[in-house]
Chain A
Amino acid sequence: MDERHSIKLPAHLESVEAAQAFISRVAAIYGLSDDSIHHCNVSVDEVITNIVEHGYEFSDAPDAIEVVLVRDGESLIIEIIDGAPLFNPLMHPDPDPSLPLWERIDNGGWGIHFVKKFMDSAIYHSTGGRNHLRMVKSIK
């Protein structure tokens, strides 16, 4: 049986820590390791920061961003839903970690790069005019 938890937050950078506290609490209940919880928290930080800074460019609406956690067997599903203009962050070109300093340009992408590395999977879809980014982390 799925167990679902959710929190709604405004599109402010302060919401990152609120989302992380929520995730830490629920993930610990489900037995994720400290390292796995940290990986989830970094991923959520990066996603929410992008939504706040680039999606909404900040919004006071209390339900601008929803973070949904669902336990699905041996996996924790983290879905981040927002109403900013539709945009799939997973389509951003992956930055190259092998680039030397002087070839690095600041065009972003590192946050999503971390999401792809830290989470077991990340999938984007849009439904009802809202962005959904669904990330999965194994409970181990």
Chain B
Amino acid sequence: MNIQVAAEGNITVLRASGRIDSMNAPQLGESFNEHIGAGHIHLVLDLSAVDYMSSAGLRELVNALKKLRRVAGDLRIAQPSKRVREVMEMAGLDTIFLIFDTSSEAVESF
């Protein structure tokens, strides 16, 4: 998994690519923690280039969301693939996260 970071105003967009599973989900979590620690509390996770996510990835998303919402921030999801959306829905996360069709829409929603 590769994570590219871009700042759009005070919104931080993390664009992940590849697969997110038990091997590399901690890396995603560390990236979230790094940004939260730096005061970046408005995050967009662009999943357009992620073709696979297991429960390990979902765990990191939920953990990050809790940390962010405690400080009045948020983690919003952009462009999950059909398969990623499927596991998110199966875990009920589609009612917890704000999910957008594009990264631009996610950024503008803040």
Contacts and interface: CB of A to CB of B under 8 A. Distances in A.
Interface of A: 13-14, 16-17, 38, 41-42, 45-46, 49, 52-53, 95-102, 104, 106, 110-111, 113-114, 117
Q: Is the interface of B mostly helix, strand, loop or mixed?
A: helix
B55 A46 contact: yes
Contacts of B35: none
A110 B63 contact: no
9 contacts: A14-B23, A16-B22, A42-B52, A49-B22, A101-B62, A101-B69, A101-B96, A106-B62, A114-B55
Contacts of A95: 91
Q: Is the interface of A mostly helix, strand, loop or mixed?
A: helix
Interface residues of B, number: 22
Given A100-B96, A101-B96, A110 B69 contact: no
A97 B21 contact: no
B65 A110 contact: no
Contacts of B87: 42, 114
B37 interface: no
